[in-house]
Amino acid sequence: MRRDALRAFRLGCTSVQYFGSVFTDSLREGAVAFLDDEFRLDDPSFYAGDPVPVYARLRAEAPVHRYEPLDLWVLSRYEDIRHVSRTPELFSSESGLVLNDIKYDQSMVKMLFPPDAENLMASDPPRHRQLRKIIVTAFTAKIVNTMEPRIRRIATTLLDRITPGEPIEWVEDIAVPYPLLVLSELMGLPGDNIPDLRTWADDTTAVGLPLTQEEFEAIVRDLMNSAAYFGEQFAQRQACPAGDLLTGLLDAQIDGERLNEVTRLMFCQFLLAAGGETTRHLLSNALLTFLDHPEQHELLINDPGLASTAADELLRWITPAMGFVRTAKQETEIRGQHIGAGERVYMLYPAGNRDEEIWPAADKLDLAREPDPMHLSFGFGEHFCMGAALARMEIRVFLEELMVRHPRFALAGEPRRQDSVLFNAWESVPVVFG
């Protein structure tokens, strides 16, 4: 490279421009070399460290980065992620959604469910809109608002079980059951089956875990049990309609045809996974975030009315879901980088949620920050989370009640992360409240 530059200089050929391009190429090569060494997208241990500086370098030096181990493009800028999310005519959801789909060269969800089951997340318009329309009516503002008293009752019941001075397991005792109890209310399920609902939700989201053959087979057996459970629930509503979400699924039609049994089951699994995981992982991370940012914790203690903006800022800061894959339907470009038809792009949400071009002081937690523009933690475009309003309400109500009932706490042991490349998740957060 230096010999080429010297030759250009001696020939008198636009030396300043040439050296500038050589210097830029050298920087780019250095960035790629650094990223190839430090950026391990499909390694759970990468997220257990401090990935934020790597995200910053991705945005600055390689916002459309070729990740060779999985043969895909990684997007780390907010606007690029939004562009892919809102153009399903260019980027498809049907050919794999999660990193393990790419790693194992097959759709993990399709392996877990029968071939005639339709997956809302792994569908494109117009079919996606038809499937989405069936369930979206359950999350209208009117219905969500009527649920607030029930959500607050669930939150206070769980929090009132806490005994000051006695250690608890925050994830298992609080973060896991809370959103599942809310979903049970919404779906019309009895509230005494939370352990099974949790198992089935975990099974569906296990597509982000490194599974052994034995673990995979155990998941398939669990999902067979869920099919039996929900089959019984649907049979009860067939005999006696209840006016709940499951009754709505039973009556739902597309083009004059009712949903088949396995597609109804897919909807139930989708609700358990999508409805339970975001709130669960947000709450699992929240206490650790407060301990790391005591000044923001004090701000919320002194003004629980900030819980609404705090909910969205925590969602931005924590980013419960790491990201999803899309496949280019045709040749296109992102930031001048050619993306070939059939090539995959990965929307790295936690990097986009720290984009300094979008948020002032993006690497600073500010619980009073207004959620405008909106973060990426609920997705964007066609696949924007239908339950976003419900999740916000769950988080807001929970923070309000936590700050009133048990504002002071400390770790009672060493937290333990989950080995996942799909979620920012913790298996264990032992705490004791003052």
pLDDT at 74 over 70: yes
Q: Which residue has the higher pLDDT, 372 or 20?
A: 372
CB 134 within 8 A of CB 379: no
Q: Supply the pLDDT for residue 26.
A: 43
Percentages of the chain per state (helix, strand, coil), in multiples of 5: 55, 10, 30
The residue-averaged pLDDT of 345-369 equals: 97
Dihedral pair phi/psi, residue 210, rounded to 5°: -80, 100
Q: How confident is the model at residue 24 (pLDDT cuts 50, 70, 90)?
A: very low
Instruction: Tell me how crowded residue 110 is: count the other CB atoms within 10 A of its CB.
Output: 14
Instruction: Give the count of alpha carbons within 13 A of 282, CB side only.
Output: 27
For residue 65, the cross-strand partners are 74
Structure-block tokens of residue 89: 């005519």
Residue 283 identity? L
Mean pLDDT over all residues of the chain? 88
| Helix H or strand E segment including 323 | strand 323-328
**Distance separating alpha carbons of residues 384 and 320, to the nearest angstrom:** 15
Q: What is the structure's pLDDT at 284? A: 95
pLDDT of residue 244: 86
Cβ atoms of residues 175 and 188 within 8 Å: no
* pLDDT tens digits, 148-169: 999 999 999 999 999 999 999 9
Q: Is pLDDT of 14 > 60?
A: no
Question: What's the confidence (pLDDT) of residue 191?
Answer: 78
pLDDT of residue 365: 98
State the number of CA atoms in the 13 A half-sphere of 115 facing the CB: 0
Q: How far apart are CA 216 and CA 371, in angstroms?
A: 39
In DSSP notation, 185-227 reads: HHHT--TT-HHHHHHHHHHHHGGGS---HHHHHHHHHHHHHHH
Q: How many CB atoms lie within 10 A of CB 159?
A: 17
**In the structure encoding, which two tokens stand for residue 261, read together?**
């049994």
pTM as predicted: 0.89
Q: Is the dihedral of CA 378, 383, 386, 389 positive or negative?
A: positive
Note the pLDDT of residue 266. Answer: 85
Tens-digit pLDDT profile for residues 198-248: 998 888 787 667 777 788 778 878 888 888 999 999 999 999 998 888 998
Give the pLDDT band (50/70/90) at residue 345.
very high
Q: Please provide residue 139's backbone torsions phi and psi, each rounded to the nearest 5 degrees.
A: -120, 25
Q: How much is the pLDDT for 109? A: 59
Asked whether residue 23 carries a pLDDT value surpassing 70, the answer given is: no
Determine the Cα–Cα distance for residues 24 and 272; give it in Å rounded to an integer. 48
Winning range, highest mean pLDDT, from 4-8, 18-22, 391-395:
391-395
Rounded to whole angstroms, the Cα distance separating 80 from 39 reads 19
User: Six-digit token pair at 160?
Assistant: 């009132």
Domains and CATH numbers, the chain: 43-408 (1.10.630.10)
Residue-wise pLDDT for 257-310, tens only, equals: 898 888 898 889 888 888 888 999 999 999 999 999 999 999 999 999 999 999
Q: pLDDT by residue (tens digit) across 329-343? A: 999 999 999 999 999
Give the pLDDT confidence of 111-122 residue by residue, as tens digits.
666 677 788 888
- Strand-pairing partners, residue 423, are 321
**What was the pLDDT predicted at 223?**
80
Q: Could you tell me the pLDDT band of residue 382, with boundaries at 50, 70 and 90?
A: very high
Is the distance from CB of 40 to CB of 31 less than 8 angstroms?
no
Q: Which of 31, 27, 71 is nearest to 54 (CA)?
A: 31
Q: How far apart are CA 79 and CA 351, in angstroms?
A: 11
Residue 349: what are its φ and ψ, rounded to 5°? -60, -45
Q: What are phi and psi of 114, to 5 degrees?
A: -60, 155
388 membership: H or E segment, kind and range: helix 388-405
